[in-house]
Structure 1
Amino acid sequence: MQLQHPDERTFYESLAVDDALSVKRLAAAIQDGHYESVRAQPKGKPLQLPRPTDPSYLYTAEPRDVIDTDTLLLDIDLGFEVIRRQRIRLARIDAPDRTTPEGAAGRRFVREQLAVARSIVVKTVKTDLHGRYVAHVFYAFNNRGIESTFLKGRYLNQELIDKGYANPV
């Protein structure tokens, strides 16, 4: 499989690392023309991430720390009274470093949202090269339960793009 442009190669390398894609999933993204769809996105209009709908690997969570805009420390309920503290990397986004003004603002936004959320649900994808789980995070301000929060709650990954705190990858 050949890529036509050096920027395209960089895009797919970043996507593969950030989302911990297998060779098969990376090939599918290339064949689907994911790079072209991101490039074709109109200026000024944030990219809409495809919201996950498969209910596999869903867990409730409690926030412990916001490391930076796209990295969280959560206590994840694995069921049967088993809680695991885990570092989570938000899937499909990249945010500025927390030492920058933009990164600090994004981190503050995430802290404020998760501090008042009554229900937080994590959908894990897989682990990245740093041992963090790559995940989609959903939350609600009322206690909706895991299924309802996943299907109808706020999608943190997309909100960060919409508000300009993160970029899609």
Structure 2
Amino acid sequence: MNIIDQFTRRETMELAGATSNQLQYLERSGLVIPTRVLKEGKKKPEVYYTWEQVLEIRAIRNLREATSLQVIRRVIDFFEKCQYNKALRDKQIVVIDDEVFWVNQDWSDFGKQISVLKVDDKRRKGIGQYTLIVIPALWDIVKEVWDAAAASKVISMQEFRRRAKDEPGKAA
């Protein structure tokens, strides 16, 4: 990738919402290594990040709001050890209490249950195991409310249709 296609350190800080210290830490820990270019006549090299690195920094920053950098490092190590792409930018990572899950990208079971892989746990138990999380789909909830309205002797369906925000099968 050409340097022209990359982002300066300052642009990266702005786009990723990261501080200079955070970028330094990510580089020192080996999580995100920028390109350094020493230009003629300058003492310090200029630092550049790729688009993918900007996204990675943003993903780490967002995940950091829910968990520690040590946990994030263990998650990345887990992906590396299991020979998955270790990048976080393209993964759906969910933190629930002290457990970290990677949501399976196959959404065919959405609305019933979601298959997730446990990638970290404070107690270090069950790592690498698939887990099923049951999540009610929004459209199922909308249908239940419509069914309740239709069965009600208190609700006017004409008024309900006017005031309801969604119809069954059309929920966002």
**Structure 1 length-normalised TM:** 0.23
More helix by share: 2
Q: Which has the larger radius of gyration?
A: 2
**Structure 2 length-normalised TM:** 0.23
Higher RCO structure, 1 or 2 (CA under 8 Å, sep 6+): 1
